[in-house]
């Protein structure tokens, strides 16, 4: 099992080109199934989750290959409609493929998806939406067997109970080639949903309202292949900004998505960091000691503060001057990183959805284990800020979302190596 060895206490300083978005790439790779032709995805990050998606595609009969952050997917010859349980368990996004396979073939067999353990992560909204679209769904020995009753899904009006990100993506994927019109109410407004719709429009789909809570999709008989550039990863961007802030450093992030990162930036600015944005660049300079964030940090659907950035900003705030309060509203078990931060000297009290972080003067290195993707990134940020050496195990979690994290950190002058 690989580990990250971090010799902390060095200020990060330099310029970093941001990777492409994992959370956009995964549904877009699934969407490539609908084209029946070759698609070329540029700026696709090379991550273990992306390779899992590629294995799913290849298992279905598509041809998917990577070189230099470009994924080329040819979905002309789909001859399988079942995703094996082992692949379903590798990540949560495997469930998104359900909508795309149904859209292309009218049937599919999946099982419960895996992914980070952030509390209960049901798929009830995905399932009930597919049923509304004319899909018969049965469970048999853990397999979820789906078949469009009339051979093809049809449009429907679907109101989600909660602005989920994944559920509207499943619906959109099924709806773009369904019979008639689909309306999704209370959809999430996450930029990655807009990126998926941007890709689908480039393939000939008719979608409007993405980025708003009401999305309308008019089903088309056929889509075609295209070339598309994946948006930058705003969560990886938030992570490198938080790491730099935690170490009192200075960074220019290039190829960043400024507007989409603003909900994070506006909170980070309250710590006293100076942040300037222009075009696709974010410049951050951190003072000697951060200030605690006075307003409660409430995670919310976009454009609220992103749940995926909660852990990494907490890693920066554990050594801030004063007390910061977090409220996690999206997942019921998303403070699993706090034990490791406490082991490094942080003062954090967690009570259900609230975490109270009292800033301490400094952290010390420790042997810690990543618990989930963003929690692992938070541990890496804390280790970079801490005095002494930390050893982080369980880094397969981190590799799911960060492209060669140790290279990015070393480019910025940090001391992190993989052993
Ligand atoms: C996506 C992101 C993930 C992010 C999350 C919230 C990807 C690949 N992942 O995950 O990084 O943390 O959005 O911004 O894009 N829920 C249900 N029933 C469902 C679906 C969801 O109850 O059928 C609940 C979930 O348990 C959770 C909430 O809705 O409490 C939000 O989940 P959702 O937005 O769907 O998250 P994901 O799409 O899995």
Please give the domain boundaries of the chain with CATH numbers for all domains.
4-18+232-418 (3.65.10.10), 22-229 (3.65.10.10)
Catalytic residue at 197?
Answer: no
Q: Find the 302 Cα to ligand 1 centroid distance in Å.
A: 12
Q: Rounded to the nearest whole angstrom, what is the distance from the C-alpha of residue 56 to the centroid of ligand 1?
A: 20
Active-site position among 62, 108, 116, 257: 116
Assess whether pLDDT exceeds 80 at residue 115: no
Write out the H or E segment, with its range, that includes residue 139: strand 135-140
* Model confidence pLDDT, tens digit, residues 153-201: 999 999 999 999 999 999 999 999 999 999 999 999 999 999 999 999 9
Q: What is the pLDDT of residue 92?
A: 87
Write out pLDDT tens, residues 131-147: 999 999 999 988 999 99
Q: Is the pLDDT of residue 268 over 70?
A: yes
Residue 1 pLDDT level (bands cut at 50, 70, 90): confident
pLDDT at 99 over 70: yes
Using the mean position of ligand 1's atoms as its centre, give its distance from the Cα of residue 285 in Å.
33
- CB contact at 8 A, 155 and 149: no
Position 375 confidence tier, pLDDT thresholds 50, 70, 90: very high
Sheet architecture: strand order including 38-42: 63-67, 70-74, 38-42, 227-229
Cα gap 39→149, rounded to integer Å: 30
Q: Which residues does 192 contact at the CB level (< 8 Å), separation at least 6?
A: 21, 23, 24, 27, 165, 231
pLDDT(117) > 70: no
pLDDT at 119 over 70: no
Beta bridge partners of 321: 291
pTM of the model: 0.97
Atom in ligand 1 nearest the alpha carbon of residue 121: 26
Closest atom of ligand 1 to 115 CA is 39
State in Å: Cα 385 to ligand 1 middle.
30
Between the alpha carbon of residue 218 and those of residues 175, 176, 178, 331, 341, the distances in Å are 7, 6, 8, 32, 48
* Confidence tier at 118 by pLDDT (50, 70, 90): low
What does pLDDT average to over the chain? 96
Rounded Cα distance, 33 and 200, in Å? 11
How do strand 107-110 and strand 143-148 relate by DSSP bridges? antiparallel
Atom of ligand 1 nearest to the CA of 331: 30
Ligand 1 nearest-atom number relative to CA 235: 11
Say what the pLDDT of residue 246 is. Answer: 97
Residue with tokens 């040819």: 74
pLDDT over 70 (residue 412): yes
**Which residues' Cβ are closer than 6 Å to ligand 1?**
23, 26, 92-93, 121-126, 162, 164-167, 188, 192, 307-308, 330-331
* pLDDT for the residue numbered 120: 66
Q: Which of 164, 196, 213 to mutate to test the pocket of ligand 1 (most atoms within 8 A of CB)?
A: 164
Residue of 264, 330, 397 to mutate, ligand 1, most atoms within 8 A of C-beta? 330
Could you tell me which of 160, 155, 105, 100 has the C-alpha nearest to residue 128? 160
238 touches 316 (CB < 8 A): no
């Amino acid at each position: 099992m690989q580990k990250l060895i971090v010799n902390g206490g060095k200020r990060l300083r330099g310029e970093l080109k941001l990777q492409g978005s994992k959370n956009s790439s995964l549904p877009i790779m699934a969407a490539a199934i609908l084209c029946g032709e070759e698609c070329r995805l540029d700026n696709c990050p090379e991550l273990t989750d992306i390779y899992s998606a590629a294995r799913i595609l290849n298992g279905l009969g598509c041809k998917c290959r990577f070189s230099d952050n470009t994924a080329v997917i040819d979905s002309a010859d789909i001859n399988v409609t079942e995703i094996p349980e082992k692949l379903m368990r590798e990540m949560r996004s495997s469930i998104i493929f359900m909508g795309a396979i149904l859209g292309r073939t009218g049937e599919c067999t999946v099982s419960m998806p895996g992914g980070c353990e952030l509390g209960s992560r049901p798929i009830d909204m995905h399932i009930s939406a597919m049923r509304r679209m004319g899909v018969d769904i049965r469970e048999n020995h853990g397999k979820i067997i789906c078949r469009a009753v009339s051979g093809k899904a049809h449009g429907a009006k679907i109101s989600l109970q909660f602005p989920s990100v994944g559920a509207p993506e499943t619906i959109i994927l099924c709806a773009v080639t369904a019979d008639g019109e689909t309306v999704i109410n209370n959809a999430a407004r996450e930029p990655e949903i807009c990126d998926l719709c941007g890709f689908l429009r480039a393939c000939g789909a008719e979608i409007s309202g993405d980025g708003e809570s009401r999305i309308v999709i008019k089903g088309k008989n056929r889509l075609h292949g295209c070339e598309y550039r994946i948006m930058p990863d705003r969560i990886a961007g938030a992570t490198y900004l938080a790491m730099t802030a935690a170490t009192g450093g200075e960074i220019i992030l290039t190829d960043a998505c400024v507007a989409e990162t603003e909900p994070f930036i506006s909170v980070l600015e309250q710590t006293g960091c100076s942040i300037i944005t222009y075009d696709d660049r974010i410049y951050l300079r951190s003072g000697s000691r951060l200030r605690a964030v006075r307003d409660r940090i409430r995670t919310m659907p976009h454009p609220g503060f992103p749940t995926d950035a909660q852990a990494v900003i907490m890693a920066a705030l554990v050594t801030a001057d004063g007390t910061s309060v977090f409220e996690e509203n999206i997942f019921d078990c998303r403070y699993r990183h706090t034990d490791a931060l406490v082991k490094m000297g942080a003062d954090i009290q967690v009570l259900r959805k609230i975490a109270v972080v009292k800033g301490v003067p400094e952290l010390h290195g420790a042997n810690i284990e990543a618990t989930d993707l963003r929690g692992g990134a938070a541990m890496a940020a804390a280790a970079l800020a801490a005095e002494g050496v930390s050893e982080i195990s369980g880094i397969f979690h981190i590799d799911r979302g960060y492209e060669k994290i140790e290279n990015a950190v070393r480019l910025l002058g940090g001391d992190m190596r993989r052993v």
